Amino acid sequence: MPELPEVETVRRGLTLAMEGVVITQADVNRPDLRWPFPVDMAARLTGKRVERLRRRSKYILMDLDSGETLLVHLGMSGRMLVSGDPLGQFVHRHPAPEKHDHVVFHMANNARITFNDPRRFGAMDLMETASADAHKLLAVLGPEPLGNDFHESHLIAAFKNKNSPVKSVLLDQRIVSGLGNIYVCEALFRAKIHPTRKAGKISGARVAGLVPIIREVLAEAIEAGGSSLRDFRQADGELGYFQHSFDAYGREGDPCKRSGCTGQIRRIVQSGRSSFYCTQCQR
């Protein structure tokens, strides 16, 4: 499932192919994904210029010159493929249509962007740009982890008196938006905090220390995604999935990477999701 760094990488890749460019034709090949598509979606996209591509949490927001914004969520398995850009950023031939190509954007610069999603947990919606923040999916979101509203006193206040594990508090999108399972595991490893520790029992200093660590973990992953964008001229034109090494996530049974620590990475399940942590240095 794509997390914030993957979505940011998709946004950056789409920006290269779409920003400032008119959508000459939009193909909408089915009535819905997770939810029904908005009424007349193909007509509302066709002939519109993409002014700007933004990201809020794990949503990509495409501002159009019609005054509407297209919201895109990749869901569990959504992929964006870019092909045929004459500017040389993307030199891939247009692929043959595939079964799960649900939405295709044909751009005036000859780029083609294909949204393929076998499991159809993805979503698209159209809204007025001026009131985009009030969209039901966006209005409930807490601060962006890389934005100015996410800071030490915000997190300390959010942790205060919380009886739930630190892991679930960090996954709560109202407290910080866009953080998912992988990067919470990584941040807790770096902060040496055990994932089951009750949030309210962690000292203010340690909670404050999580803020720069969360930013650092995400920034490093976004940087890895940026490298993948530079490489993908040679790859298949698919945006957003890249090789990135983790310290804890997916390393069950492996020795801890922290220098001087002789612990081992263990996996437990919390609220149905895997947590990976070091048995020795995370307290």
Nearest to 206 by CA among 155, 280, 146, 149: 155
Write the DSSP assignment of 147-204 as a string of letters: STT--HHHHHHHHTT--SBHHHHHH-TTTSSS--HHHHHHHHHHHT--TTSBGGGS-H
| 261 near Zn ion, judged by CB under 5 A | yes
* CA–CA gap between residue 132 and residue 175 (Å, rounded): 20
Nearest 5°: the CA angle 94, 60, 168 is: 125
- 105 or 189: whose CB is closer to Zn ion? 189
Q: Which stretch binds Zn ion (CB under 5 A): 62-70, 90-98, 139-147, 253-261?
A: 253-261
- 71 or 256: whose CB is closer to Zn ion? 256
The count of residues interacting with Zn ion (CB under 5 A) is 7
In the complex, least distance from residue 255 CB atom to Zn ion, rounded to whole angstroms: 8
Which of 11, 55, 56, 58 is labelled catalytic?
A: 58
* CA–CA gap between residue 74 and residue 124 (Å, rounded): 9
Helix (H) or strand (E) holding 8: helix 4-18
In the complex, least distance from residue 217 CB atom to Zn ion, rounded to whole angstroms: 16
Task: Reply yes or no on whether 273 is catalytic.
Answer: yes
- 226 or 263: whose CB is closer to Zn ion? 263
Helix (H) or strand (E) holding 220: helix 204-231
- 274 or 280: whose CB is closer to Zn ion? 280
Q: 111, 256, 275, 277: which one contacts Zn ion (CB under 5 A)?
A: 256
| 263 near Zn ion, judged by CB under 5 A | yes
Q: Which residues bind Zn ion (CB under 5 A)?
A: 256, 258, 261, 263, 278, 280-281
| Residues involved in catalysis | 2-3, 58, 273
